[in-house]
Amino acid sequence: MNKIDRIKELVKLLNKAAKAYYSEADEIMSNYEYDKLYDELVALEEETGYVQSDSPTINVGYEVLSELPKESHEKPMLSLNKTKEREELAAFLGEQNGILSWKLDGLTIVLTYVDGKLTKAVTRGNGEVGEVITGNAKVFKNIPLNIAFRGELIIRGEAVIKYSDFESINAAIENEDEKYKNPRNLCSGSVRQLNNEITAKRNVNFFAFSVVKADGVEFNDSKEEQNKWLESQGFMVVERKLVTGANVVEAVEYFADAIKDNDFPSDGLVLTFDSISYGQSLGRTAKFPRDSIAFKWADETARTHLLEVEWSASRTGLINPVAIFEPVELEGTTVSRASVHNVSIVEELMLGLGDEIEVYKANMIIPQISQNLTKSGTLVIPSECPVCNGPTKIKKQNETRSLYCTNPDCLAKQLKSFSHFVSRNAMNIDGISEATLEKFISMGFIKEYADIYHLDRYKENIVSMEGFGAKSYDNIIASVDNSRQTELPKLIFALGIANIGLANAKVICKAYNNDVDRIVMLNEEELTALEGIGDVIAESFVKYFANTKKKEQFIKLLPELNFKQEEKKEQILEGKVFVITGSVMHFANRNEIKDLIESLGGKVTGTVSANTNYLINNDVNSTSSKNKTAKKLGVEIISEEQFLSMIKGE
């Protein structure tokens, strides 16, 4: 392959990885691999002079993909140039003073305060356009809603979730498949929630790191003065050290030691000039500002030998490979295991038992295999499930090859499915843990979901089982009985249908008025006609109820349950079509307004058209495209207050 073709290949790979990471909260390659490929691309572009228009070395991020309102930033939010060499930091500073701080691994947020009040919060997005998450920011754990300063203040910072909170949240999720991969993914999903009640439960923290605008404040040409001023206003500011070219390497050592006990995720450090005017005088490149540079940890690696690959089956049938190797010391701890994630990575690494491999800790925390030095490629992908010995099959999704158990009666699938069924967001049967389910299934007490509601048949057996007793039995039965009062969407979600979340289940049930007989007979065309239900979801839903055994088990459940009926509201908005845009003040988010409109018989669409009756926008005089279209078509533009008055009949 020639160098130009290699550049094209690298651009495609890196853009795909960046899109997954920033827009889809997924991770298809490690930071180690990304940095390695990125550095190769930079070198090739410099050598050949060839740079593609979509190269990650000149472009910033991807368009955001969500239903949150979007807004352009006053100033572009650029990425930082990076280095892994500590000596380069001293060269970067020269004779200038600098500030060295954590490069936190979360989601960058821009906050705006006017007259002392938080008025707006916007995510970084693609650097030019971000998502408005004001309602969510107001429930971050440590953001001040009011400050002493009365001018307009615009600051930037990082929203992060602590490792301790991340572990607590994951510990409460019984199903392995549903656990979050890392704090950044959890934070990204939490910050961009359409319901800020969920955000509030996630303990999101905000750390300020720069001032964009502060009317009338004199900072004496010092970013450190800005930091101190932000602290005086009540903001948490990222931990930092004042440095010079003479002591910056020593300061890096401090952070390298501190990261071992740091509760906040960090993927490196940031060095910036203290002098604001000097930094501004340097200008910027197409992608990077010249006043700052990122320092990425040069990962400590160790060579070892692969002893075994453990294959772990899950509720969905996915079988994940975990590498077991000779124990090595990394970043002060002994490690002997690392997730390999999927078959594609196993094949890329060309793994074989006994191979000499190089391992490291991503961000000095998570053990990963960086490379295989032997590359024997002799590892045999199991043809049988490690749990039930049923046949396995490799499936390819989004260019990733993964191993699945094809036996529908696999105990692992049953156990995980039952665990999902009793989980909090499903049937909420407290007191039946996965370990308890495993015992009851192995004893033959539970063969299908309906059996959970007849555990009283086995009272004597359960009371006499080791680790149980009369009190445990009573608690289980009470919890089972409490779960009989439920809602149809929760039952649909509890079935564990692939790709069907609680939100999807609510959409389907609401559209068909909770008519069970009608819902189980829906076809793909009827489902895809519903907003938010795509082909994949529709196919999964129809396929589930087309399975005679599964449908029969579902029907057996119905007599055991009492479904709460949704309160019928007067359909005062019937026939009215609304579009909602901009930030909201009286509701948690735009979806909350949408739910209210739909409960009153109205309809909400995403585009203003001749069929639209009202455009809800708190900025009725905005020059946005939706406002312009509404005025052109004669569509009435109303604020939230006017909408609330409308539904109250005022």
Catalytic residue among 19, 103, 375, 413: 103
339 bridge partner residues: 322
Q: Is 184 within 8 Å of 191 (Cβ atoms)?
A: no
Pairing of strands 400-405, 318-330: antiparallel
Q: Is 428 left (phi over 0), alpha (psi -120 to 50) or beta?
A: left
Burial of 568 (0-12, 13-18, 19+ CB in 10 A): exposed
Burial of 257 (0-12, 13-18, 19+ CB in 10 A): exposed
How many C-beta atoms surround the C-beta of residue 410 within 10 A? Answer: 20
SS3 label, residue 506: helix
413 is catalytic: no
Q: Interhelix angle for 535-546 vs 548-557, to 10°? A: 80
Between CA 346 and CA 245 the distance in angstroms is 43
Q: Interhelix angle for 434-442 vs 411-422, to 10°? A: 130
Q: Interhelix angle for 640-648 vs 590-599, to 10°? A: 20
Burial of 176 (0-12, 13-18, 19+ CB in 10 A): middle
Task: Copy the structure tokens of residue 25.
Answer: 């909260």
Give the ranges where 443-547 is alpha helix by DSSP (H): 459-464, 470-482, 488-494, 502-511, 516-519, 524-528, 535-546
SS3 label, residue 577: strand
Give the ranges where 66-146 is alpha helix by DSSP (H): 86-93, 134-137
Between CA 554 and CA 544 the distance in angstroms is 10
Burial of 461 (0-12, 13-18, 19+ CB in 10 A): middle
Q: For residue 50, give Cα distances in angstroms to 4, 42, 47, 54, 257.
A: 7, 10, 8, 12, 40
Give, for 197, the enclosing helix (H) or strand (E): helix 196-201
- For 134, half-sphere exposure in the C-beta direction (CA atoms, 13 angstrom radius) is 19
The sign of the CA dihedral 614, 620, 624, 630 is: positive
Give me the active site residues, please. 103
